[in-house]
Structure 1
Amino acid sequence: MGNKVELRTKAEPVTAFKTVDGKKRKAEVLLNVEDLSLSFTQYTSGLRQTELKVISNLSIQAYRGEILAVVGSSGSGKSLLAHSILGILPSNAKLSGKIEYDGEELTQERKEALRGKEIALIPQATTYLDPLMKISDQVIGCVEKKDKGLMRKLLREIFQRYNLKSEVEGMLPHELSGGMIRRVLVSTAVIRSSKLIIADEPTPGLDEKTLNETLSYLKDMADRGCAVILITHDIEAALKVSHKIAVFYAGTVLEVANVEDFKNNGENLRHPYTRALWNALPQNNFQVIKGHQPMQDEVFDGCIFYERCSKKKALCSQGIPELRQVNGGVVRCNNVS
């Protein structure tokens, strides 16, 4: 242990392709996040100021017409990435790195202009709803008087798809069950012509039928050309609809893998942590690894997965591995070739 070493992530994004009318075409990057770091200013005893780093040099790309699933345990930085993109971080946050949307820098001013319009959030917490406002008004939002009739018609169609009865429109949030509220939150993104959808844990509390329906609507949005970021703990749910899986750990990306790589015992997966997540599923031998994800204030000179890795070498304790392309994916590991 010693002074903290910054992650170096200079790998170029992996080219994505889509098959359209039987032809393979290059997919377009809608959101590019490069070398993103996030810390919070905190005060300790004696009014001493410290910096708590929660994200370190994180890089991902979201493509038009695709679903990128972001998976990882609690505290890995998944939701903070969403808040960074949306510009809803607290005042003590310090953000560095580059975020580009549709080829242009996504400044705080631009985030505020696009938030709730071109960039939509399906939040994790049900408390995002206003407890004193009717559900219909919250889903429709602020629109011109001449458009309200059309929006209400569209609202009824969407609610019908999600098995929400017409009386839900006039209810308040406390009158709805947890599952109903989550379906309402999904509806707020569906009703707008958003280009980038960030779904932050949209499926907990949903029964199997509603979960599959929710995932199908995310897929529909991607099929219409939207870029969808699905933040979830549920790898199995993500694999049903996603094109790529970004694996987060201790505030950074360890691997971005294609969905096709998740099969058998995970031999096509590049990082030991990704394989461990895959093999920990009940149908995959339910294997677990010792240890826990590092806390944000822990300091590392080497790989952040070093203490838990079964394939670590002396090199792994001497500098944090770079993020690089390997076999059609992206990985941060010294032991992959």
Structure 2
Amino acid sequence: MELKKPLLEVRDFAVHFKQYGKGLHRKDIQVISNFTLDLYAGEILAIVGGSGSGKSLLAHAILGILPANAYTSGSIKYKGEELTPKKKEQLRGREISLIPQSISYLDPLMKTGHQIGSPLQNLKGTVKNIMKRFQLAELVEQKYPFQLSGGMARRVLIGTALSSGAQLIIADEPTPGLHKSMVDETLSSLKELANNGRGVLMITHDIDLAFIIADKIAVFNKGVSVEIADAKLFEASPDNVAHPYSKALWHALPQNGFHSIRGMDYGNYIDAVQHSGDGEA
């Protein structure tokens, strides 16, 4: 019997930033280290960790959109094939799609309707359905991003990714600023994609959202994946996870006592990103 192969394989992956100080002295800062995961078609895997812990950098690395002063080591494979820079460019927006954290990713010179159903995607018939699903009025189709509210722009970003036909969807904090009904619709859409055989990698600091939607949770702390756990078992009890940070995340939830998490140091990561010219964490 042939074993099922992962849609996405990440092995011993690391991200470094190069910085130059006085006298052109070079300093390297490592913000992700020894990261390993497997994501299968039909599965939702959530990467959970504090804000500024480097989670978004993994998404940017998969897509090939890291800042110019970043370099990587380790391996990322899609459908068993190494994701080289050329391969990432070929697949980006086609087979691998991003729901980004920032609404600035929308093209400021393109109307909403064209962004949701671009010629690249060739899915014009889906535009009106997606707009209706995310409660976007018909007139929004002819508006530019600067004419949209923050919540509307985020819904357009989600619709753009859903219409892409991609096999791998990377959702980077997809729900902040959305009304609860739209949060529920977004999660439902991601679940629907997984049920239709797509792979979904969701990046979030909200572990409660991960419990709702994910099959597995990768706990991320200080640029390291400390463990990968079954989402339902993790939700049920902290005894079902091994790492102290995972247990601390569980106890930090309001329904579990709302205990604070101490000892998180993201100074190196924040410093590296500020010097890269890319402010997204």
Write the letter of the residue equivalent to 1:76: S
Match of 2:252 in 1: 280
For the structure 1 residues 132 and 248, does the alpha-carbon distance in structure 2 shift closer, same or farther, using more than 3 Å as the test?
same
Q: In structure 2, which of residues 157, 160, 168 is the aligned counterpart of residue 185 of structure 1? A: 157
Residue 265 of structure 1: how far off its partner (Å): 4.5
Q: In structure 2, which of residues 14, 19, 36 is the aligned counterpart of residue 42 of structure 1? A: 19
Q: In structure 2, which of residues 211, 233, 248 is the aligned counterpart of residue 261 of structure 1? A: 233
1:80 aligns with 2:62: no
Structure showing the higher helix proportion among its residues: 2
Q: 2: CA distance between counterparts of 1:247 and 1:110? A: 28
Match of 2:36 in 1: 59
Q: Secondary structure of the equivalent of 1:29? A: coil
Q: In structure 1, which of residues 64, 71, 74 is the aligned counterpart of residue 48 of structure 2? A: 71
Q: 2: CA distance between counterparts of 1:240 and 1:295? A: 31
Match of 1:131 in 2: 108
Match of 1:116 in 2: 93
Write the letter of the residue equivalent to 2:169: I
Residue 264 of structure 1: how far off its partner (Å): 4.6
Residue 294 of structure 1: how far off its partner (Å): 4.8
Unaligned runs of 5+ in 2: 270-281
Q: 2: CA distance between counterparts of 1:138 and 1:163? A: 16
Residue 292 of structure 1: how far off its partner (Å): 2.4
Write the letter of the residue equivalent to 2:127: L
Larger deviation, residues 281-290 vs 268-277:
281-290
Match of 1:321 in 2: none
1:140 aligns with 2:117: yes
Q: 1: CA distance between counterparts of 2:118 and 2:132? A: 19
1:209-248 alpha-carbon deviations (Å, 9 max, x no partner): 1101100000000001001000011111111111000011
Normalising by structure 1, what TM-score? 0.76
Residue 256 of structure 1: how far off its partner (Å): 0.5
Match of 1:240 in 2: 212
- The CA RMSD over aligned residues, in Å, is 1.7
Match of 2:72 in 1: 95
Q: Secondary structure of the equivalent of 1:237? A: helix
Match of 2:279 in 1: none
Residue 133 of structure 1: how far off its partner (Å): 1.7
For the structure 1 residues 66 and 264, does the alpha-carbon distance in structure 2 shift closer, same or farther, using more than 3 Å as the test?
closer
1:219 aligns with 2:191: yes
**Does the 8 Å CA contact 2:53/2:266 hold for their aligned counterparts?**
no
Q: Secondary structure of the equivalent of 1:296? A: helix
Normalising by structure 2, what TM-score? 0.91
Unaligned runs of 5+ in 1: 1-24, 298-337
Q: In structure 2, which of residues 145, 158, 180 is the aligned counterpart of residue 173 of structure 1? A: 145
Q: 2: CA distance between counterparts of 1:126 and 1:174? A: 10
Q: 2: CA distance between counterparts of 1:56 and 1:158? A: 38
Task: Flag as ranges the 4+ runs of structure 1 deviating above 6 A.
Answer: none
Match of 1:309 in 2: none
1:229 aligns with 2:206: no
Residue 75 of structure 1: how far off its partner (Å): 2.2
For the structure 1 residues 143 and 46, does the alpha-carbon distance in structure 2 shift closer, same or farther, using more than 3 Å as the test?
closer
**Number of paired residues?**
268
Fraction of identical pairs, as percent: 50
**Does the 8 Å CA contact 1:117/1:192 hold for their aligned counterparts?**
yes
**Does the 8 Å CA contact 2:211/2:235 hold for their aligned counterparts?**
no
Q: 2: CA distance between counterparts of 1:28 and 1:163? A: 37
Write the letter of the residue equivalent to 2:93: G
Residue 131 of structure 1: how far off its partner (Å): 1.7
Q: In structure 2, which of residues 158, 169, 188 is the aligned counterpart of residue 197 of structure 1? A: 169
Q: 1: CA distance between counterparts of 2:72 and 2:261? A: 33
Match of 2:273 in 1: none
Q: 2: CA distance between counterparts of 1:231 and 1:76? A: 11
1:134-164 alpha-carbon deviations (Å, 9 max, x no partner): 11112222349xx5xxx33210011111111
Write the letter of the residue equivalent to 1:285: G
1:167-199 alpha-carbon deviations (Å, 9 max, x no partner): 111001121111111111011111121100000
Q: 2: CA distance between counterparts of 1:66 and 1:104? A: 19
Match of 2:274 in 1: none
